[in-house]
Amino acid sequence: MRFIAVFNQPQATYGLGFESLLDAVDFLFWGYEDQELQPQGVYDSLTDQATPYEHAGRLVSKESPGSIRAIARKYLETIQPLASVMRVSAG
């Protein structure tokens, strides 16, 4: 997965991986709309760029790109051991 959506829920910060930027932003959009999470931004693991999330043209978090990047990298470290046991399904 290339894109990591970084968000807060009560008392915790999480990352969740997606293959496309659209899916990551869509996840943050609907989570914010449904008041289930507080988006921070999206990290692109290929370019190492973090982008704060904007909702309707305004930032909803004060997290810096550096903070978003650090959280996403921690998430990637956490799931790395699982990569060796996960296999792509043939359908």
Write out pLDDT tens, residues 19-75: 999 999 999 999 999 999 999 999 999 999 999 999 999 999 989 999 999 999 999
Burial class (CB in 10 A: 0-12, 13-18, 19+), 71: buried
Of 26, 51, 31, 27, the closest CA to residue 41 belongs to 51
Cα 19-33-36 angle, rounded to 5 deg: 80
pTM listed for this prediction: 0.85
Q: Which residue would you say has higher pLDDT here, 50 or 90?
A: 50
Question: Which band of pLDDT confidence, cut at 50, 70 and 90, is reported for residue 11?
Answer: confident
Say yes or no to pLDDT of 1 above 80: yes
Domain boundaries, the chain: 3-83
